[in-house]
Chains A and B, each alone.
Chain A
Amino acid sequence: MIPRLSSALLLLALLAGWELYCRSSGVSSLIVPAPSAVLATLWSEVASGRLLPHLRITATEMTLGLALGCAIGLVTGIVLAEAEFLRRLLHPYIVASQVVPKLALGPLFIIWFGFGMTSTIVITALICFFPLMENTVTGLRQVDPARRELFRMLGASRLQTLLRLKLPSALPMIMAGLRVAVVLALVGAVVGEFIGGRAGLGASIIAAQSVMDSSLMFALFVVITLLGMLFYQAALWVERLMLRHHLKG
């Protein structure tokens, strides 16, 4: 309780310092708007109903990109962990594909998928894919050899061993990958909108920049941060639910 209270007090102190600085230093609100101005802008965006459609679009892109990237990452991870030959064959190419900055591929995706949600979802999925795949491969390959021997002793098939031993054993690792993917999904969605979005929080930041509305940009940062924290908390909740027996004791 005390750390949380201290955390909230620290935020209030920082905001108060920021407000004081803006009012006393005479810095232009175009460069650094005061927190009170940011709050007023945020309220007016919420009250006017302008914010909600953008928030909905970014949240949708983030959810779909995350789901697509995680699903492909999980399946690819399972295939690569189970088929040693494929892993050796394909892993260098997959790593190379991740070393390429995904955002540099944005203009190409706009040619392929057009402006709008699809390009952003693809970029988000591409970013989320890697942590899920890498953690799934690592988790599946680290299953306790004694338990693998137990399943051999019990005459379990390869599929039974995968579904009833390896995947449940690797679940903590896979869920850690999901947490990383959630954070990256927000980056993917917002920055994807910078490049090819017509609507959404990222596209709104670009629009605010074009009219030099720093208050609105800060207000959007606040919304993006809250959205990220909400998704992260949801991921933590799912993780606790899935690992409730792994974590006991």
Chain B
Amino acid sequence: MPIEPQVEPHDPDFVAIERASYRYGTDPATVDGVDWAIPRGAIHCLVGRSGSGKTTLLKLAAGLLLPDQGAVRIAGATLREPGSQIGFVFQQPTLLDWHSVTDNVLLPISLKQKVRPQHRKKAAELLELVSLSAFAQRHPSELSGGQQSRVAVARALIAEPAVLLLDEPFAALDALTREELQDDLLRLCALHRTTVLFVTHDIAEAVYLADRVAIMAAGRLHHELTIDLPRPRNREMRYGQAFNALCRELRQAMDCAS
């Protein structure tokens, strides 16, 4: 059964991955005894190369896969299947071509209940926040890659999930669009203090978004780093000394881990 979050405001283990392991068939473990905790409202990033097990760990956190060993808990309850308390943004926008942008954003609602005017109003608000109001009645194939990713983020947030999981959602976009989307994401998540686990291979993206970053290699977490840059984050920070020092430290940690 999906669990309802019953949390204290500052629950330090709101999302708790406890000694989680997972292997596909008889292959070596893709996720190997990972321990990780995300406090409520925090944004954590996992950085790793392709094949390091990031996506598998994210699917464990989503309930799309169940760990062979260990457990994933959200608000203290063991996760056994995906539920409405978790939003997920995939590597590709995975929009439905035959629906308008608004209907795509409303998909999580329309699968559960009749769409009401307040839901449409909320979808319109989210689309305004990602600067897509003018495209509400368009179809996905009429949008650019960046716009499609914005719709995917808005769709993941329409049901106000307590936890948002993102699997390299901006990897296919150009650098400038990616920076804009990172700002959009931070703004949207701040609205409801959404707890975020973001997986990426881009060190600068991780440092810009996160409160805490870990390096993942060969199914394990290696180097954990608290990002003490002030919030709200802004583009100027990307060129600051502190930002670059953090990026350098993570880069060196990645080289050591692989």
Residue in chain B with minimal CB distance to A242: B98
A50 contacts chain B at the CB level, 8 A cutoff: no
User: Lowest 5 A-B CB distances belong to which pairs?
Assistant: A249-B141, A248-B141, A153-B82, A245-B98, A153-B88
Which one of B89-97, B182-190, B227-235, B248-256 is at the interface? B89-97
Partner among A152, A153, A155, A165 whose Cβ is within 8 Å of the Cβ of B96: A165
- Find chain A residues with CB under 8 A from B62 CB: 153
Within 8 A of A (CB), among B39-89: 62, 64, 82-84, 86, 88
Which one of B104-112, B114-122, B173-181 is at the interface? B104-112
Partner among A146, A147, A151, A160 whose Cβ is within 8 Å of the Cβ of B91: A146
Q: Which residues of A contact B (CB under 8 A)?
A: 144, 146-147, 149-156, 160, 164-165, 168, 171, 245-246, 248-249
Across the interface, do A150 and B94 meet the contact criterion of CB distance under 8 Å?
yes
B11 contacts chain A at the CB level, 8 A cutoff: no
* Known pairs A146-B91, A165-B96, A245-B97; A152 contacts B139 (CB<8 A): no
Across the interface, do A156 and B111 meet the contact criterion of CB distance under 8 Å?
yes
Q: Is the interface of A mostly helix, strand, loop or mixed?
A: helix
Question: In the bound complex, what is the Cα–Cα distance between A160 and B112 (angstroms)?
Answer: 10
- Find chain B residues with CB under 8 A from A164 CB: 96, 111
* Known pairs A153-B62, A153-B86; A147 contacts B142 (CB<8 A): no
Interface centre among B2, B84, B88, B97 (most CB of A within 10 A): B97
Residue in chain A with minimal CB distance to B109: A154
Across the interface, do B94 and A246 meet the contact criterion of CB distance under 8 Å?
no
5 contacts between A and B (CB under 8 A): A147-B94, A153-B88, A164-B111, A165-B96, A246-B141
Residue in chain B with minimal CB distance to A168: B98
Interface string of B194-205 (1 = CB under 8 A from A): 000000000000
Shortest CB distance B149–A (Å): 14
- Find chain B residues with CB under 8 A from A154 CB: 82, 107-108, 111
Shortest CB distance B18–A (Å): 22
Q: Bin chain B's interface residue count.
A: 20 to 34
Starting from the known contacts A171-B98, A248-B97, 9 additional A-B residue pairs (CB-CB under 8 Å) come to: A153-B62, A154-B108, A155-B83, A245-B99, A246-B98, A248-B141, A248-B142, A249-B141, A249-B142
Shortest CB distance A6–B (Å): 33
Across the interface, do A168 and B96 meet the contact criterion of CB distance under 8 Å?
yes
- Find chain A residues with CB under 8 A from B86 CB: 153
* Known pairs A164-B111, A245-B139, A245-B141; A155 contacts B94 (CB<8 A): no
Question: In the bound complex, what is the Cα–Cα distance between A214 and B31 (angstroms)?
Answer: 77
- Find chain A residues with CB under 8 A from B107 CB: 154
Residue in chain B with minimal CB distance to A248: B141
Within 8 A of A (CB), among B230-251: none
Across the interface, do B97 and A146 meet the contact criterion of CB distance under 8 Å?
no
- Find chain A residues with CB under 8 A from B91 CB: 146
- Find chain A residues with CB under 8 A from B139 CB: 245, 248-249
Question: In the bound complex, what is the Cα–Cα distance between A146 and B62 (angstroms)?
Answer: 14
Interface centre among B88, B96, B141 (most CB of A within 10 A): B96
Residue in chain A with minimal CB distance to B152: A150
Residue in chain B with minimal CB distance to A164: B111
Question: In the bound complex, what is the Cα–Cα distance between A141 and B99 (angstroms)?
Answer: 21
- Find chain A residues with CB under 8 A from B111 CB: 151, 154-156, 160, 164
Partner among B83, B92, B97 whose Cβ is within 8 Å of the Cβ of A246: B97
